[in-house]
Amino acid sequence: MTFHISIDPRHTSLIAREAARWREQDTVARIWRRDPTVWADPPGSEIADRLGWLDAPEHARSLVPSIRALYRRAVTGGITDIVLCGMGGSSLAPEVFASTLPTTQGSPKLTVMDSTHPEAVRQVASSLDYASTWFVVSSKSGETIETMSFLRYFWERAASAVQDPGRHFIAVTDPGSNLEAIAAEKGFRTTVTADPDVGGRYSALTAFGLVPAGLIGADITSLLDAAARGAALCGADVRLEDNPGFAIGVLLALRARAGADKAHFLGSGPAGTLGIWIEQLVAESTGKQGVGIIPIDGGPLLHGSPDATVVSIGEQPGSETDVSCTFGDPYDIATAMFVLEFATAVAGAVLGVNPFNQPDVEVAKRLASEAMSGSLAHPDIAPTDVSSPLWVETLTAALTGTRPTYVSIQAYLAQSSDTDALLETLRGVISRSLDVYVTTGYGPRFLHSTGQLHKGGPAGGVFLQIVNETGSELKVPGARYTFNELIEAQARGDRAALAERGRTVVALNIGSGTRRGLASVLQQVEESFT
């Protein structure tokens, strides 16, 4: 099956009208020339320094020999596990690649460590044979608190298990970062430096995505070939109406401006997990200045809803969809990624926002830091115990008073298949009962993904934050905080940031038994809304 994108003919005239304006201003060619005035005038340096993704399918090929050599050393050295320590742009694309791309038998398997919940950290730590494990520590800035906490923790564990722990660590980071210096000091096996002109959410086809993919035996040359095909589809010489990056971006942005500000992505087959990556790309790029496109990854299809543009991605064209992207070759995931990156950049231009910054992410980080230091001045929205009817009464009032634009379930819990299933069931009950779109996300990972949109995007969302008792203390070696304190501060800082932006937040604590607590949440919601 070849890669193909089709758009419902109902939208042809909308796209054609915008194409006329873009042709007159030569805008697509200006994007390819890396002209930052497409998005801002006068240009901000952050835009000028964030357009390297346009050339990534070709520039990243220089990494292929060294990544292949690393893979061969891993296999011959008996390495069975790769643990990726990263957040957001450093972790989401690798997770998609690991679940999508075919790999050679006997290759290491990838585990993504992107949760600060003590239970999640302990679960990964206890599953490893450190002698046969490599850790990829991945951070663009080299200062991400979650990633550096993982490094401290796993370094101590590895140092007690193997003679030369540095040989089990690889850094992926920007040139000159703090992480590059730490890697040199500790004697990491190697440091792979990424293109500094590519922002995190656009970094799937750079070292941040390619190193983990290559280490588990994926054919990264085929991945880059597929990405190059995506770039060609969006080229400056392609008729705008035939340019899928232009057409999809314009469609999503113009419909968002008209009120249909949800983009419902339905993935299947080789694109089944692509939604976790799309969420960050679209939300963090467009959700600011009170506008944005709210990405919905899976979940119930609200038939006939005027609120959303429906995009199916997978082996078969979707029914009732506005856009269908079909492909059967798993490596064409990279074609789709480039097209969607281009579409998101186009959407930012149409919406009048800078798609390469994330101003409201820093607010949550600052407030989390204040919560950890005890200096948070904001009044806390303390979580209500799940046994109290107060939380569900508050939620009911929030959801039935004025219809929310969307609902976001934010679970500061350790991820598991059971928890996934219960959260998805809860999502379905709320969505179908109120005919509203519902998103789900695990904290703190969503803070590096959809968190920007939650604070800076369209108003009217209702946020249900779920926390639990995190158990016995799990220390972060060499730090003055524990993982327990870190995730608690991140949840508290997020509540404060949402409240500061005038968002409606309902917080509850489900206690020490996650399954039992979520079952209680589900029961109470079902009784209230069905």
Whether 237 and 197 map to the same domain: the answer is no
441 close to 408: Cβ distance less than 8 angstroms: yes
pLDDT at 42: 61
What does residue 202 show for φ and ψ, rounded to 5 degrees? -105, 15
In tens, the pLDDT along 3-37 reads: 999 999 999 999 999 999 999 999 999 999 999 99
In tens, the pLDDT along 483-507 reads: 999 999 999 999 999 999 999 999 9
| Percent of the chain whose pLDDT exceeds 70 | 99
Whether 415 and 345 map to the same domain: the answer is no
Please state at what angle helix 220-233 crosses helix 333-351, rounded to 10 degrees.
40
Whether 65 and 168 map to the same domain: the answer is yes
Whether 408 and 473 map to the same domain: the answer is yes
pTM of the model: 0.97
CA angle 396-399-404, nearest 5°? Answer: 170
Whether 446 and 473 map to the same domain: the answer is yes
In order, the DSSP letters of 301-350 are --TT-TTEEEEEEESSPPTT-SEEEE---GGGHHHHHHHHHHHHHHHHHH
Whether 492 and 519 map to the same domain: the answer is yes
In order, the DSSP letters of 259-317 are T--EEEEEE-GGGTTHHHHHHHHHHHHH-BTTB--EEEESS---TT-TTEEEEEEESSP
Whether 410 and 309 map to the same domain: the answer is no
Domain finish residue from 351, 383, 407:
351
Q: Is residue 460 part of a domain?
A: yes
pLDDT at 326: 96
pLDDT at 1: 60
Whether 517 and 442 map to the same domain: the answer is yes
Q: Is residue 49 part of a domain?
A: no
Pairing status of strand 4-7 against strand 323-326: antiparallel
Position 452 pLDDT exceeds 80: yes
Q: Say how far apart CA 178 and CA 180 lie, in whole Å.
A: 5
Whether 214 and 235 map to the same domain: the answer is no
Whether 234 and 344 map to the same domain: the answer is yes
Q: Is residue 382 part of a domain?
A: yes
Q: Is residue 417 part of a domain?
A: yes
Position 285 pLDDT exceeds 80: yes
Domain containing 313: what range? 4-33+227-351
Cis ω on the peptide bond leading into residue 94 (within 30° of 0)?
no
Domain finish residue from 190, 218, 246:
218
Residue 403 — very low, low, confident or very high, per pLDDT cuts 50/70/90?
A: confident
Q: Is residue 41 part of a domain?
A: no
Domain finish residue from 323, 351, 379:
351
Q: Say how far apart CA 261 and CA 306 lie, in whole Å.
A: 9
Residue 361 — very low, low, confident or very high, per pLDDT cuts 50/70/90?
A: confident
Mean pLDDT lowest among 69-83, 176-190, 280-294, 368-382? 368-382
Q: Is residue 38 part of a domain?
A: no
Q: How many CA atoms within 13 Å lie on the side-chain side of 51?
A: 19
Region 68-77 average pLDDT: 98
399: CATH: 3.40.50.10490
Whether 319 and 443 map to the same domain: the answer is no
The whole-chain average pLDDT of the chain stands at: 95
Say how many C-beta atoms besides its own lie within 10 A of residue 77's C-beta.
12
Name the domain count of the chain.
3
In tens, the pLDDT along 112-130 reads: 999 999 999 999 999 999 9
Q: Is residue 513 part of a domain?
A: yes
Q: Is residue 44 part of a domain?
A: no
